[in-house]
Amino acid sequence: MTLELQSLFVRSPRRIRLRYTGALAAGAYSASWFALACLDGSTSDPAITGAFLVPTASDEIELALGVDLSPGGEYQLTSAAGIPAVDASVTALDVTAFRPSLARQAPSASVSSDDTQALLYGEDLAHDGSDLVETPDGDLALSTGPENAMLGVVRRALSDGLPYNAAYGPHLRRFVDAPSPSVRAARGSIERQLRLDDRVKSVSITVLPDDNSGDLTLQGTVELIGGLKRSFNESVT
């Protein structure tokens, strides 16, 4: 009895799924069984970088590719003879031609503006400055959207470094009680640090020293990606 390739699905620009007429043995999941060629020159011949088991389908193999398939390009998959099935049957040499459509899927109707903002600005555990915040039912609260981005911006602006990253933050305490000309250096250090956050598009900082206490007041306006602008006012003692 011969194991046969039943169908080929292009799942993404770098994923192809193969379905066979029977359950596959462990030895079937090797990229060495397969070779892929581009026949029309739209791409180079994509290398097959992996052949994976599909947990919910013992008769399928998923192939990972090293080059994106070209939509509408002409490709040919060659499967070697001898790919084993669990019933001891094996494949004959098979050559399958296909053209990937890779049509772009419409956005899901279930995606909300909150989901989009979470993707843009991140999501993290909420912190009140001294401890993690809990919800009324005892779970840890989450911070998301532009507010989460601004919490990150303010933390970076006030930070004197982290145990695992001494370069994080502008280290503003070195400017407390410093001469007035150092204000320009403090402002530049803050702005350079905040631009390292990929959610920040532009930033404008004012540093106001208190001549009596030596403390610093930071006033900042940040434009986030997406065009949102937020301001903050913080003190460093």
User: Using one digit for the tens of pLDDT, what is the confidence trace for 91-139?
Assistant: 999 999 999 986 555 555 555 666 778 788 888 888 776 788 888 888 8
Top mean-pLDDT range of 133-142, 148-157, 206-215: 148-157
Please state, rounded to an integer, the average pLDDT across all residues of the chain: 88
Structure confidence by residue, pLDDT tens digits, 46-99: 999 999 999 889 999 999 999 999 998 999 999 999 999 999 999 999 999 999
- Provide the 8-state DSSP code for 87: T
Residue closest to 83 by CA, chosen among 49, 34, 47, 37: 34
CB-based contacts of 231, cutoff 8 Å, min separation 6? 219, 220, 221, 222
Residue 131 is which amino acid?
A: D
Residue closest to 101 by CA, chosen among 9, 201, 177, 179: 9
Q: What is the pTM of this model?
A: 0.49
What is the pLDDT at residue 101? Answer: 81
What is the pLDDT at residue 105? Answer: 55
Report the alpha-carbon distance of residue 221 to residue 233 in Å, rounded. 9
The structural domains of the chain, ordered by start, are 2-98 (2.60.40.1220), 113-236 (3.10.450.40)
Number of Cβ within a 10 Å radius of residue 138? 6
Residues 176, 199 contacting (CB under 8 angstroms): no
What is the pLDDT at residue 62? Answer: 96
What is the rounded radius of gyration, in angstroms, for the C-alpha atoms of the chain? Answer: 28
Six-digit token pair at 176? 């407390």
